A = this chain, B = another copy of it.
Amino acid sequence: MTKKKVTFADIAQYTGFSKTTISRYFNHPDTLTLENQEKIADALNVLGYRENKLAKVLANGKTEIVGIIVPNLYMHYYSEVLNQIISGYDKYGYKFIVFIGNGSKDTEKQYIEELLTYNIEGLIVLSHTISSKQLASYHIPVVTIEREDKYVCSVNTDNYMGAVQATSLLIKSDCDVLIHINSKVDPAVPSAKRIDGFLDTCRENQFPHELVEKDIGNTYAENYENLKRIVGEIEKRYQGKKIGIFMSNDTHANVLLNVLLHEYHYEGFQDKFKIVGFDNSPISAQAIIPISTVGQQIERLADEAMQLLVMQMNERKKRSPKALKKPIHKVITPILIRRNTTN
């Protein structure tokens, strides 16, 4: 830990140029001859000079740092989005300071304030606690992903289309009645459109259906008990019918699958129930019976988010930047993945 920092004075001494010339090399290299630029570049190599980005940042304001706020990394969806965004470093060159909100609005506000003191160039927000109006008030480029986005740019999966795909697959799987189990979702949140897509598709096909809006808890044990009770009630209501169930995510679809397999034997379950999940999480492929699901194109989602952010960040660096007239909202089509819980 004793490696000495190479200073402009060291470089000047080594090359025989003045410190002013060395400074010009870093800030206005085009004012030096190519020959002298090369001499200095060689000296930097020999001396092991390490560029100080922070000093440069103070001069030009480009930190190349983007802040990201995710609600948690427990849910695979968030860790995969984060994975894809951070991997965009190779393409866009931005570095990412990551915060995990854990559902606390105050903490997230404090995070953002802290990020602003680091002159971050932009912000990607996946967590739900801070309104888009508040986010817009920070006056820095923002892109949100799958959350309320009225006042800021956003990228979302086409949740409506995903629900149409899932519901249509259940209809084609010879079901007699369709059920969608979901928590009560704020209509401003993009995933609320999954409910609309389900209801509209059933109505258009004049297909018997039921929406079960219930919070089924946050742990596997709670999910299991709640889904066992809900399935018991559904079965009583639709005796002798083949029931198609569209779950709002794959984690819950897997718990439902386990409930059904423990209550019925394998053949009995396959004859009576069809299941479609949402997200294409690893669990949907690793379940004892691989689960049909609606896959989000997370790689594209992340890339579109970065493009939208880079566009805003570049605009800001212009001499007279123009604010967007209104926020841009991009939508990514999901992909239906047919596995073994549907026909």
Contact = CB atoms under 8 A, between A and B. Distances in A.
Contacts of A107: 90
Interface stretch (A34-42, A189-197, A207-215, A251-259): A251-259
Contact of A255 (B50, B65, B255, B286): B286
Given A1-B139, A79-B73, A254 B286 contact: yes
Contact of A139 (B2, B82, B86, B316): B2
Interface stretch (A112-120, A151-159, A237-245): A112-120
A119 B52 contact: yes
Contacts of A97: 65, 95-98
B96 A139 contact: no
Q: Copy number in this complex?
A: 2
Given A95-B114, A97-B97, A251-B286, A323 B1 contact: yes
Q: Give the size range of A's interface with the partner.
A: 35 or more
B100 A98 contact: no
Dominant SS at the A interface? Answer: helix
Interface in A86-102: 86-87, 89-90, 95-100, 102
Contacts of A117: 50-53
A258 to B, nearest CB: 5
Given A117-B52, A118-B54, A286-B251, A80 B87 contact: no
Contacts of A100: 83, 86-87
A63 interface: yes
Contacts of A74: 79-80, 83, 282
Given A80-B73, A83-B100, A90-B107, A286 B316 contact: no
B102 A86 contact: no
Contacts of A286: 220, 251, 254-255, 258, 283
Contact of A58 (B50, B58, B65): B58
A57 interface: yes
A72 interface: yes
A55 interface: yes
A50 to B, nearest CB: 6
A288 interface: yes
Nearest to A98: B98
A95 to B, nearest CB: 5
B288 A288 contact: yes
Given A86-B98, A97-B98, A257-B288, 6 more contacts: A1-B140, A53-B117, A54-B57, A55-B58, A86-B100, A96-B97
Interface of A: 1-3, 50-55, 57-58, 63, 65, 72-74, 76, 79-80, 82-83, 86-87, 89-90, 95-100, 102, 107, 111, 114-119, 139-140, 220, 251, 254-255, 257-258, 261-262, 282-283, 285-288, 316, 321, 323
